[in-house]
């Protein structure tokens, strides 16, 4: 790990040259320079080299790199590369450098302050940190002292990066923060009173903000600092920092009952800031407007429960947030208010706060009006309807995003005011437009259409809040919707509304026909956006109104067949999913006939596309079309299932189609997308039709076995897993002979994969590796009594060990899940889902697993620890540490020995024997108690250790000696 670096020369000149190369244009040279500098940062030479660079006349960016490198050295390498007696010299050097860089540049000064803070945390014998730093820097270096004071609490909070025990870190936190808090507050007061410039220095407020997390907020509020912070809002240079400082004070009072006195002091001071809203808006001071809005919104969120309890005293604060929202013509600050409206709503909807809800109804009513105005598309200055944002794509994207966020806030308003009241505002908005402009509309030329589209969008946003019982406003609105002018944006918005309210329409069938006809007619437009929206709406109509559409199922097929080829693929899938839902609710005796009616044309199209697929594009069309057939295979299911011995009409149809799908598969075994789509179709057949699929299974199994043997594609394993799940021993509809055949099929597939993995490494085909271990998870879950005693069980485990050298998340995750399931069988209690197995059988299975772990446990520990320290993605840590924990539960002493042996294989100087001894002492201490809770703490102990190691040591993944994974071999 560190050995790579030790072979290189890390002189100052070489480092400077590498930095120079990083500025060049040669990507290959830059890559080598980057790797060289990474190795330099981990080397022992970096200590002296960085200090030399910082003391030189090098350019600022080079010095900043040196300061950043020094921070990393102190964080990760202090205990392994600097002897304890030399650490005070590091402190002396740092203080000297800080004094040198006290005037600036600020980025370097801040990095050095962070270095000193991290050193202070680790130097546990250094008890007088604050006095030493202040006296060393001198009264003239206020900026530097303030920077150090600001970063100290932040670095202590991040202390888990540093190699201290939890107990040591807790003690150090108390010494550095709690014990120093009174002196820090006094230092800041003295500094603020030292001059007018000091009292408006943004650094002062950043420092107070940082310490507010450590100092009780009431101590700041009752000190002279409160007046200083609020006074700073009168100064442009300090406004934002002071506003953030007040916001932090407010956040610290979230526990209302513990901070009543503090809130009573802060509330009038915050409310008194409301006149500033108009001032900053008129001055177009956007940044101050943002800061002020954040402050009011933060206060509202923090005190939401107090607003709900007491109402009146806090009403001006609510009005201030509303004013910030109302004045935001360019939508610069409205996003900062959304959380407040949500937080307040969460309390106001509670029955005990009904009085406050009634008092604030008018606020939420005004908020709806404001949001409706903000929802309007802009009227372009160029009068170009095709470009509403005059070419500003960023503004367009921001507007789209805000619309959906504002939609969420409209839902909050619905919960406070009631859906009927909110929909009434929508209805009024539409009526107002119609009175003013309806007579002036001419085809697609619609004056001020923005004022009509906004209520439509808001209606769509409120859809989730509207129940099927709403009978007051919607019966008035629905007839208006299908009369909207033919403007593209209006038609799109109307279609999206109709698609959103299909559940309501299902309960009010008298409105179905005009709505459905409006959607169908929309397919005749030239707008791709409208066609896509219409296809989505058809899906929702078919889903929610499927029983109402049953009488028109034949006409629906005619429409479907006519429109299908004109649609983009996504819309084809949506409309197919919808019509399949309508077919699914037809009488059982009609299912076979309807599947032929709907799917025979699809199958004919499939064969035509397959015959014409001579290039990749043509083959992709085949793969896409298979998706449409899958919707029918998945969705049209006979429920309740037919009696045993009776023929399932849906499966009868798929028996007829199966040879065609098999033929397509065989012809395109070299094209993965088609193989995956056929397998996906079969998998859903098995999952959806379950026991009824028995007549198709033998031929399907043959196709899956041949397909994998020929193509080596993981998709064939997906279907195998589905068959295992649906035809396992504990299924009522499955006979003994069937389960025997299914298990033999699984074992044959697994043996094929093991041979394949033996020929290639897991790195070569991570997808197949992932699919295989998901399959054997199913094998272990549904056939443990057959799989665990089998001859393939040990080699599958060995294959799993070989996979643990990978760095890709998906195959690792699947493999770790399998290993954890295997380990579960080694514990004192069999997994609860195996109650159908006798205790004799589970004891036998446990014995087999424990015998396997006794021989492979040490290798497993090596692989897991090496992965957690070096190669595993972060998402895999929980499963890896969980596997280790289970191993500790099965073999406590042996696992401790394996962990100890593994850690002592780590390269020299990456971890000290003292650290390993300390870790193992903690582990053995937890094991000695025989307490389950204590044993479980081993998991977090090992996670902390491996996290620390990983942070300290990031290196190329080769040259790891005894920790490197071995190649899997299978002779079966």
Q: What pLDDT is stored for residue 2 in this prediction?
A: 35
What the block records as the tokens of 407 is 């939609």
The pLDDT of residue 443 is above 50: yes
Q: How many other C-beta atoms can be found within 10 angstroms of the C-beta atom of residue 962?
A: 12
Name beta bridge partners: 21: none
Highest mean pLDDT among 152-161, 599-608, 685-694, 758-767: 599-608
Helix axis angle, 315-326 to 338-348, nearest 10°: 140
Contact 883, 864 (CB under 8 A): yes
Name beta bridge partners: 442: 445
**Residues 661, 187: Cα–Cα separation, whole Å:** 80
**Residues 649, 758: Cα–Cα separation, whole Å:** 44
pTM above 0.85, yes or no: no
Which of these, 710, 711, 730, 777, lies nearest to 750 by C-alpha position?
Answer: 777
Burial, 167: exposed, middle or buried (Cβ in 10 Å; 0-12, 13-18, 19+)? exposed
The pLDDT of residue 609 is above 70: yes
The residue ranking higher by pLDDT, 161 or 76, is 76
Which of these, 888, 683, 860, 879, lies nearest to 778 by C-alpha position?
Answer: 683
What the block records as the tokens of 288 is 């101050």
Chain Cα centroid distance, residue 227: 42
Q: What pLDDT is stored for residue 5 in this prediction?
A: 38
Q: What pLDDT is stored for residue 641 in this prediction?
A: 86
**Residues 423, 430: Cα–Cα separation, whole Å:** 11
DSSP 442: B
The pLDDT of residue 319 is above 60: yes
The pLDDT of residue 382 is above 70: no
Which of these, 559, 643, 659, 648, lies nearest to 595 by C-alpha position?
Answer: 648
Contact 826, 890 (CB under 8 A): yes
Q: Mean of the pLDDT values across residues 380-405?
A: 78
φ, ψ for residue 731, nearest 5 deg: -85, 135
Q: Mean of the pLDDT values across residues 779-792?
A: 93
- How confident is the model over 10-61, as pLDDT tens digits? 778 888 888 888 877 778 888 888 888 888 888 888 898 899 999 988 888 8
pLDDT interval class at 505 (50, 70, 90): very high
Q: Is 58 left (phi over 0), alpha (psi -120 to 50) or beta?
A: beta
**Residues 412, 321: Cα–Cα separation, whole Å:** 15
**Residues 791, 420: Cα–Cα separation, whole Å:** 68
Which of these, 246, 236, 329, lies nearest to 285 by C-alpha position?
Answer: 236
**Residues 505, 546: Cα–Cα separation, whole Å:** 11
Helix axis angle, 142-157 to 106-122, nearest 10°: 50
Which of these, 568, 562, 566, 570, lies nearest to 539 by C-alpha position?
Answer: 570
The pLDDT of residue 831 is above 80: no
Q: What DSSP string runs through 925-937? A: HHHHTT-HHHHHH
**Residues 135, 128: Cα–Cα separation, whole Å:** 11
DSSP 445: B
Length of the chain: 972
Name beta bridge partners: 445: 442
User: Which residue do the tokens 């940190």 mark?
Assistant: 129
**Residues 726, 286: Cα–Cα separation, whole Å:** 61
- The answer to whether the peptide bond before residue 640 is cis (omega within 30 degrees of 0) is yes
- Rounded to a whole number of angstroms, the distance between the first and last alpha carbons of the chain is 37
Q: Mean of the pLDDT values across residues 822-829?
A: 89
- How confident is the model over 683-712, as pLDDT tens digits? 999 999 988 898 999 999 999 999 998 998
Q: What pLDDT is stored for residue 719 in this prediction?
A: 92
**Residues 601, 561: Cα–Cα separation, whole Å:** 8
Q: Mean of the pLDDT values across residues 85-112?
A: 91
Chain Cα centroid distance, residue 650: 39
What the block records as the tokens of 43 is 């080397």
Q: What pLDDT is stored for residue 161 in this prediction?
A: 56
**Lowest mean pLDDT: which of 93-102, 752-761, 848-857?**
752-761
Q: What pLDDT is stored for residue 4 in this prediction?
A: 39
Q: Mean of the pLDDT values across residues 624-647?
A: 91
Contact 957, 870 (CB under 8 A): yes
Question: Over the Cα atoms of the chain, what is R_g?
Answer: 35
**Residues 217, 211: Cα–Cα separation, whole Å:** 9
**Lowest mean pLDDT: which of 103-117, 731-745, 864-878?**
731-745
- How confident is the model over 925-972, as pLDDT tens digits? 888 877 666 677 888 888 888 877 777 765 432 222 344 455 566 665
Q: What pLDDT is stored for residue 3 in this prediction?
A: 36
**Residues 928, 938: Cα–Cα separation, whole Å:** 12
Please report the sign of the dihedral spanned by the C-alpha atoms of residue 110, residue 115, residue 118, residue 120.
negative
How far lies 433's CA from each of 428, 456, 518, in Å?
A: 9, 12, 21
**Residues 378, 390: Cα–Cα separation, whole Å:** 10
Q: Mean of the pLDDT values across residues 198-205?
A: 92
Q: What pLDDT is stored for residue 160 in this prediction?
A: 55
Chain Cα centroid distance, residue 267: 37
Helices (H), 712-760: 715-726, 736-759
pLDDT interval class at 151 (50, 70, 90): very high
Q: Mean of the pLDDT values across residues 446-465?
A: 93
Tell me how many helices (H) and strands (E) the chain has. 51, 0
**Residues 75, 362: Cα–Cα separation, whole Å:** 55
**Residues 194, 765: Cα–Cα separation, whole Å:** 68
Which of these, 517, 477, 514, 472, lies nearest to 497 by C-alpha position?
Answer: 477
Q: What pLDDT is stored for residue 324 in this prediction?
A: 96
Q: How many other C-beta atoms can be found within 10 angstroms of the C-beta atom of residue 652?
A: 14
Determine the Cα angle at 568 with ends 562 and 574, to 5°. 80
What percent of the chain stands above pLDDT 70? Answer: 94
Please report the sign of the dihedral spanned by the C-alpha atoms of residue 735, residue 741, residue 744, residue 748.
negative
Contact 177, 156 (CB under 8 A): yes
Q: What pLDDT is stored for residue 960 in this prediction?
A: 28
Contact 444, 480 (CB under 8 A): no
The alpha carbon torsion through 335, 340, 346, 349 (nearest 10 deg) reads -100
User: Average pLDDT, whole number, for the chain?
Assistant: 89
Query: What is the widest separation between alpha-carbon atoms in the chain?
Result: 95
The pLDDT of residue 547 is above 50: yes
Q: Mean of the pLDDT values across residues 762-775?
A: 86
Cβ neighbours of residue 408 closer than 8 Å, sequence gap 6 or more: 338, 342, 461
Contact 65, 80 (CB under 8 A): no
Q: What pLDDT is stored for residue 224 in this prediction?
A: 93
**Residues 926, 412: Cα–Cα separation, whole Å:** 50
pLDDT interval class at 84 (50, 70, 90): confident
Q: How many other C-beta atoms can be found within 10 angstroms of the C-beta atom of residue 900?
A: 16
């Amino acid at each position: 790990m560190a050995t790579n670096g030790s072979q290189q020369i890390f002189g100052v000149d070489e480092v400077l040259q590498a930095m120079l190369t990083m500025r060049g244009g040669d990507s290959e040279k830059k890559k080598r320079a980057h790797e060289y500098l990474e190795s330099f940062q981990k080397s022992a030479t970096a200590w002296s080299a960085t200090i030399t660079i910082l003391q030189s006349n090098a350019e600022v960016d080079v010095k900043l790199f040196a300061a950043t490198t020094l921070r990393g050295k102190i964080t990760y390498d202090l205990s392994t590369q600097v002897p304890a007696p030399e650490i005070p010299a590091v402190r002396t050097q740092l203080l000297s450098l800080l004094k040198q860089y006290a005037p600036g540049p600020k980025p370097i000064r801040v990095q050095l302050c962070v270095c000193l803070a991290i050193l202070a945390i680790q130097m546990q014998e250094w008890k007088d940190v604050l006095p030493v730093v202040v006296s060393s820097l001198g009264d003239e270096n206020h900026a530097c002292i303030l920077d150090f004071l600001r970063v100290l609490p932040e670095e202590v909070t991040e202390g888990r990066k540093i190699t201290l025990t939890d107990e040591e870190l807790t003690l150090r936190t108390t010494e550095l923060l709690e014990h120093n808090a009174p002196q820090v507050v006094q230092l800041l007061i003295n500094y603020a009173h030292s001059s007018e410039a000091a009292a408006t220095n943004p650094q002062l407020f950043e420092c107070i903000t940082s310490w507010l997390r450590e100092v009780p907020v009431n101590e700041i509020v009752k000190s002279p600092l409160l007046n200083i912070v609020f006074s700073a809002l009168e100064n442009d240079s300090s406004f934002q920092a002071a506003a953030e400082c007040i916001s932090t004070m407010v956040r610290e009072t979230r526990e209302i009952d513990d901070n009543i006195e503090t809130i009573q002091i802060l509330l009038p001071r915050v409310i008194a800031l409301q006149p500033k809203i108009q001032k900053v808006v008129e001055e177009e001071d956007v940044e101050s407007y943002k800061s002020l809005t954040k402050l009011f919104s933060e206060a509202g969120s923090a005190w939401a429960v107090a607003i709900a309890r007491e109402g009146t005293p806090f009403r001006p604060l609510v009005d201030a947030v509303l004013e910030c929202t109302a004045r935001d013509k360019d939508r610069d600050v409205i996003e900062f208010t959304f959380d407040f409206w949500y937080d307040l709503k969460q309390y106001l909807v509670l029955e005990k706060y009904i009085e406050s809800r009634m008092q604030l109804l008018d606020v939420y009513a005004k908020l709806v009006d404001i949001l409706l105005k903000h929802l309007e598309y802009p009227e372009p200055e160029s009068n170009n309807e095709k470009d509403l944002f005059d070419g500003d794509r960023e503004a367009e994207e921001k507007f789209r995003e805000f619309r959906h966020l504002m939609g969420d806030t409209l839902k909050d308003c619905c919960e406070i005011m009631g859906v009927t009241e909110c929909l009434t505002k929508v209805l009024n908005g539409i009526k107002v437009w119609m009175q003013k402009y309806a007579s002036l509309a001419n085809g697609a030329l619609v004056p001020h259409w923005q004022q009509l589209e906004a209520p439509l969008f808001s209606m769509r946003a409120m859809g989730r809040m509207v129940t099927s019982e709403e009978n007051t406003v919607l019966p008035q609105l629905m007839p208006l919707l299908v009369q909207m002018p033919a403007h593209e944006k209006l038609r799109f918005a109307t279609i999206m509304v109709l698609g959103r309210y299909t559940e309501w329409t299902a309960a009010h069938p008298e409105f179905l026909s005009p709505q459905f006809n409006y959607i169908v007619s929309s397919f005749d437009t030239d707008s791709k956006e409208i066609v896509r929206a219409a296809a989505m709406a058809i899906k929702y109509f078919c889903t929610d109104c499927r029983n109402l559409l049953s009488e028109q199922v034949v006409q629906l097929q005619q429409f479907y067949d006519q429109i299908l080829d004109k649609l983009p693929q996504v819309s084809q899938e949506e409309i197919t999913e919808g019509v399949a839902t309508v077919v699914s609710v037809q009488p059982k005796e009609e299912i076979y006939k309807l599947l032929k009616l709907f799917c025979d044309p699809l199958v004919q199209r499939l064969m035509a596309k397959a015959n014409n697929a001579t290039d990749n594009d043509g083959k992709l069309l085949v793969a896409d079309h298979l998706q449409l057939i899958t919707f029918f295979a998945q969705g049209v299911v006979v429920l309740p299932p037919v009696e045993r011995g009776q023929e399932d009409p849906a499966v009868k149809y798929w028996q007829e189609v199966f040879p065609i799908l098999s033929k397509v598969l065989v012809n395109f075994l070299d094209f993965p997308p088609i193989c995956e789509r056929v397998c996906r179709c079969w998998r859903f057949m098995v999952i959806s039709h379950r026991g009824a699929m028995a007549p198709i299974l033998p031929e399907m199994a043959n196709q899956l076995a041949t397909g994998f043997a020929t193509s080596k594609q993981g998709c064939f394993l997906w279907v195998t897993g589905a068959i295992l799940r649906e035809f396992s021993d504990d299924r009522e509809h499955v006979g003994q002979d069937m389960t025997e055949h299914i298990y033999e099929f699984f074992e044959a597939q697994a043996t094929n994969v093991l041979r394949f993995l033996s020929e290639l490494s897991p790195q070569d085909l991570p997808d197949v590796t992932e699919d295989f271990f998901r399959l054997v998870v199913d094998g272990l879950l549904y056939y443990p009594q057959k799989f665990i005693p089998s001859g393939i069980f040990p080699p599958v485990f060995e294959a799993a060990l070989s996979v643990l050298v990978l760095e890709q998340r998906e195959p690792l995750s699947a493999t770790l899940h399998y290993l954890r399931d295997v380990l579960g069988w080694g514990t004192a209690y069999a997994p609860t889902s195996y109650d159908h197995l006798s205790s004799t059988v589970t004891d036998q299975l446990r014995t087999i697993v424990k015998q396997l772990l006794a021989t492979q446990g040490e290798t497993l520990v090596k692989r897991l620890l090496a992965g957690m320290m070096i190669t595993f993605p972060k998402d895999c840590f929980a499963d890896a540490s969980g596997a280790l924990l289970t191993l500790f539960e099965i073999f406590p002493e042996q696992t401790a020995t394996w962990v100890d042996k593994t850690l002592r294989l780590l390269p020299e100087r990456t971890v000290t024997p003292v650290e390993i001894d300390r870790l193992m002492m903690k582990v053995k201490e937890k094991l000695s108690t025989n307490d389950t809770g204590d044993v479980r703490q081993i998991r977090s102990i090992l996670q902390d250790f491996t996290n620390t190691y990983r942070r300290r040591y990031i290196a190329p993944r080769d040259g790891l000696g005894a920790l490197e994974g071995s190649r899997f071999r299978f002779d079966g």
